[in-house]
Amino acid sequence: MERLRRNLAKVEERLQAACRRAGRDRKEITLVAVTKSVSAEIAALLPALGIVDLGESRPQELWRKAEALPKNLCWHLVGHLQRNKVERTLPLVQWIDSVDSVRLLRTLDIESAKRSKSLDVLLEVNASGEQQKHGFRPEEIAPLTPLLRDLTNIRIRGLMTMAALQDPEQCRPAFKLLRELRDRLRQELGPPHAVEHLSMGMSNDFEVAVEEGATFVRLGSVLFEGIA
């Protein structure tokens, strides 16, 4: 617990410094703790430190942790979701940060219609152009607008990207691109959508992401350093 508290305090300082550099309010940014490297017991310590947004990249791991932890947490799926895992995942999450295909969008819309709780989704964009990555290509986003308008059972809340693992400064163009795509999509999509979020920035590059407008930073290793 003490180690986690210290790690978090350091992250918080770095977040605030990035906000000052960018002239942003710290309140605009939500820290999502990505818990894939730690146990459910460690993840369960987070709410006492004020972290209630938790993320997992693999659906099965999210099921396991979300079912073991208190129900008042806000879970994000941040990795690839296969359609055959949608039904089991939806009751456990508030956010899917990583919607990467039209087929998945349609499935989520149909499945969400059966539920009373609406689902917040982000479209994953492969903004760094790496071959092996999931996500829409940047030029695919604008042409999606008519289809997105027809999806009324989910709420499109923004865009997500994973930068390439490299010098953080080299990630800046991908983050800028994501912000421009978000700004354009926001003008095109009315309610129930509200395209305001940018989920970008991981341990390696979160300060640059905050400078470029991130509203969710997804942090794992920097938070759990030194914790098994």
Ligand X SMILES: *Cc1c(COP(=O)(O)O)cnc(C)c1O
Q: Which two tokens stand for residue 123?
A: 């479209």
Nearest residue to ligand X, scored by beta-carbon proximity? 220
Integer Cα distance of 158 and 126 in angstroms:
14
Q: How far is the CB of 34 from ligand X (least distance, A)?
A: 4
Integer Cα distance of 48 and 35 in angstroms:
15
Residue 189 or residue 224: which is nearer to ligand X going by CB? 224
Residue 134 or residue 184: which is nearer to ligand X going by CB? 134
Residue 55: its H or E element: strand 53-56
- The CB-side HSE value for 216 (13 A sphere, CA atoms) comes to 32
Integer Cα distance of 207 and 201 in angstroms:
7
Q: How far is the CB of 187 from ligand X (least distance, A)?
A: 27
Interface residues with ligand X (CB under 6 A) are 34, 36, 57, 78-79, 162, 202-204, 218-222
Residue 133 or residue 176: which is nearer to ligand X going by CB? 133
Residue 7 or residue 204: which is nearer to ligand X going by CB? 204
Q: How far is the CB of 191 from ligand X (least distance, A)?
A: 28
Q: How far is the CB of 121 from ligand X (least distance, A)?
A: 15
- The CB-side HSE value for 196 (13 A sphere, CA atoms) comes to 10
